[in-house]
Structure 1
C-alpha cells in the first residue's frame, strides 16, 4: 500500500509540475497584465506600471519567470511559502483562502445532496426498470440536466426567491394550490411505491389527503410566520428515522438493531429540552463536539444491545443519532426564523438572490447560520438539479449490470431477503464505477462553478479564476490551478483506496 501510494504521489507530482509550467507560460502569452494601467489617465501612470513590472517580474521572459514563481512554493520548506502577488499587489494566498471557503460552502452541500439523492433515484429506477416511475424520473432528471445553468438559476430566483418572499407577506395557501400540491404528491408516492391498481389508488388517496391536511394546518395556523417543529414532531421524526435506518442497514427482522436505533432515538427525544439551555451558547466547536458525542452514544447503545451482529447495531444506532441530532438542530434554526426575518437587514424577505451573506448582520450562531443557509439555498439547489441526472443514470446503469450477475441470482436462491440482496450484494459492487465519478467530482469541486457563482454573485474559486483570466493575473490563475490540481490528485488516490475496500479482488500494492 505504502509503495503504491508513493509511486502514485511521485508520478502525480511530475505531471503537476509539467502541467503547471505549460499553464503558466500559456497564461503569460494570453494577454497583457499592464493593459488596465496603460489605459488609465492617472498622473502617476508610469510609476504604477514600473511598480507592477517590478513585483510581478514582467521584465523576465515567461519561460524563466515560472521558476521565480515556483521558487516561492519551495520557500515553504523554510516557512516563507508564497504563490506570488496579484496584479493589485495582494497576496494570492489570502484571496485563495477566502475563495476556497465560499466555494466549499456553496458546492460541498450541493454535491453531497446530489450524490445521495442521485444514488437513491438510481437504485429505485433500476429496481423498477421500464415502469412509469422509471420513465418519469429519467425525463425529469435529463430535463434539469439539459437546461442551461444560468437560465435555471434565473428561474429559481424569480419563482422560488421572489415568489416565496412575496408569499411570506401573507402566508396563506389557497385551496387551489393545496389541491395541486396534494395531487402532485399523490402521483409521486404512487410512482415510488407502485404495486397493483388497488394499492396505487390507496397510496394516491392517503398521500394526497395527508399532504392536503398538513398544508391546511400550516395555512390556518400561519406556521410560516414563526415556524418550529416542537418535541412532538421531533419525536415522530426520530422514531421514523430509527425504523428507516434499521430497515436499510440491518432489516427490521434484526430486533436488536431496531431496539438500538429506537433507544438512541429515545435518548435524543429525552435530551430535546436540556439541549435548549445549551444552544444559546452554541458555536461551531460546540456543535462539532455534540455531533461526536451523539456518534459515541449511538455506538455505545449499539454495543450494549449487541446481538449476533453487533457492528450492524452500532452502525445503525450511530447513524440514527446523527440524523436525530440534525432534526433537533433544524428545529433550533426554525426557532430563530422570526428574529431573523424581522431584522432591519432582512425586512421580511429572507431568501436572498445574491451574495453569500448579509453585510453587517449581527447575531448568534443560529442567526448567522440561518443567514448563510438563505443565501446558499438557491445556488445549492441550482447546482444540485444540474448534476443530479449524472449520478442517477450512472447508478441505474451500474445497478442493472450487477443485478443480472450470477451471484445475485445465487443470493436470492439461498433465501436472502431483497434488502440484503440489494444493499449488501448488489449496491456494494455497483459502487465501484460510481466511486470514480464521485471522487473526480469532489476533486474538481474546489475549482468552483463559474456560471452559478456569477449569477448569484458569490466570490468563489470559479469567479476568482474567471476574473484572473480576464485581467491576465497569472499568479492568481496559477494559485487556482495548483489548488485544483492537488485536490484532483488526492481524490484520485482516495478512489484507488476505496476500490480495494469495496472489492477485495482489487489490491493497491506492488
Structure 2
C-alpha cells in the first residue's frame, strides 16, 4: 500500500507541471506588472522599470523564465521573486497554508460527520418526517450561494455582539492582532473563536451535497442481497447497519470528498475574503491583483499538492472500508 501511495504521488508530479505551465502562460499574457509603473503619474523612470523587469526576470524569453523558475524550485526550494520586494513567497505560502488548512480540515470533518448522520438516518427512515426534514435542510443549503451565506453569518454575528454588548462572535480576521502576546491556551481559544463563523459557512455549503450522496449510497446498500442475507442470519440490527451496510456506503462519500477538495478550496477563497482571513484564498486574490506570476505558481503548486494528497488518502481508505480492495 505504501508503494501504491508513492506511485500515485509521483504520477501527480507531471499533472502539477502541466498545470503550472498553463497558469504561467495565461498569467504572463494577462498583463505585465511593469505596466502599472508606467501608468503612474508621474511615470516611474525608465531605468527603474528596467531594473524591476530584470529583478523579476521579465526581460527574458517566456520559456527561459519558466525553466529558471522550475529549476530554482527543484534545486533550491526557491519560489522566485514577488512583485512586492518585501514578500518571501515560500514563507507566505507556509503561513497562509496553515490558516486555510485548519479551516478546511475542521469544515470537512464536520461536514462528513453531518453528512453521514443525516444520510444514514434519512435512508433508514425513508419517507419519514426525519427524511423530509434532512432533505429540506440539504436543499436549502444547496440553494444558498456561498458568499451570501458567509455574509449572513457575519451580519448575524455582528448583530448579536451589538445586542449583547460583548464580543461573542469574531467577524474579522483569523486571529487577534495581539495574538502573539497570549499564552498557549489564549492562542488556542483565540484561533478557535475566529474559526466559528467561517467554519459554519464552509461546512453548510459542503455538507448539503454530501448528505444526498450518503443517503443514496445507504439506500442502495440496504436493498442489496448481502444485507438481506445478514438480516436473515439473525444478526443484530446495529451490527448489520455498522459492519455491513455503513462501511460499504461510505466508499462513495470518500470518493466525492476527495473530488470536492478543490471546490472546498474555492469555497475557502470566498469565505476568507468575507471574513478577512489571511489565508490561501486572499493570497490568491492578492497575487492576481499584483499580476504576480511567481506567487500564482506557488499557490497552484501547494494547492495542487494538497488535492493530490487528499485523493491518495481517499484511495487508501477504500481498502480500510472494503477489505476486498487491495493494492498490489
Question: Does TM, scored on the shorter chain, surpass 0.5?
Answer: yes
Structure 1 369/2 Cα, relative in aligned 2: closer, same or farther at 3 Å?
closer
- Number of the residue aligned with 1:147: 144
What is the deviation of 1:368? 2.5
- Match of residue 51 from structure 2: 51
* Cα shift at 1:496: 2.1
Once residues 294 and 264 of structure 2 are traced to their aligned partners in structure 1, the CA distance between those partners, rounded to angstroms, is 21
- For residue 84 of structure 1, the aligned residue among 77, 80, 90 is 80
2:74 aligned partner: 74
* Conserved 8 A contact 2:218-2:246: yes
**Alignment match, 2:23:** 23
| Other-structure match for 2:176 | 358
C-alpha displacement of 1:357: 1.4
Q: CA offset at residue 6 of structure 1?
A: 4.8
Gaps of 5+ in 2: none
Distance 1:371 1:10, change over 3 A: closer
1:468 counterpart SS class: helix
Question: How much has 1:380 moved relative to structure 2?
Answer: 0.9
Partner of 2:280: 461
TM-score (norm 1): 0.60
* Further displaced range: 427-436 or 484-493: 484-493
| 1:444 positional shift | 6.1
Match of residue 34 from structure 1: 34
Is structure 2 residue 130 aligned with structure 1 residue 129?
no
Shift of 1:91: 2.0
8 Å Cα contact 2:146-2:267 kept in structure 1: no
Alignment of 1:103-502 (within 5 A): 103-159=100-156, 161-169=157-165, 348-361=166-179, 362-442=181-261, 449-502=268-321
Coordinate RMSD, CA, aligned: 2.1
Q: What TM-score do the two structures reach when normalised by structure 2? A: 0.92
Query: Structure 1 residue 60 and structure 2 residue 73: aligned?
Result: no
Q: Where does the alignment leave 5 or more consecutive residues of structure 1 unmatched?
A: 170-347
Quick one: distance in 1 between partners of 2:309 and 2:52? 35
Cα offset, 1:485, TM superposition: 1.4
Whole-angstrom CA distance in 1 between matches of 2:7 and 2:150: 43
Larger Rg over CA atoms: 1
Q: Could you say if the C-alpha distance between residues 445 and 149 of structure 1 is closer, same or farther in structure 2, counting changes exceeding 3 Å?
A: closer
Q: What is the deviation of 1:43?
A: 7.3
* 1:37–1:48 contact (8 Å) kept in structure 2: no
Question: How many Å separate the matches in 2 of 1:507 and 1:457?
Answer: 44
Q: Does the 8 Å CA contact 1:122/1:393 hold for their aligned counterparts?
A: yes
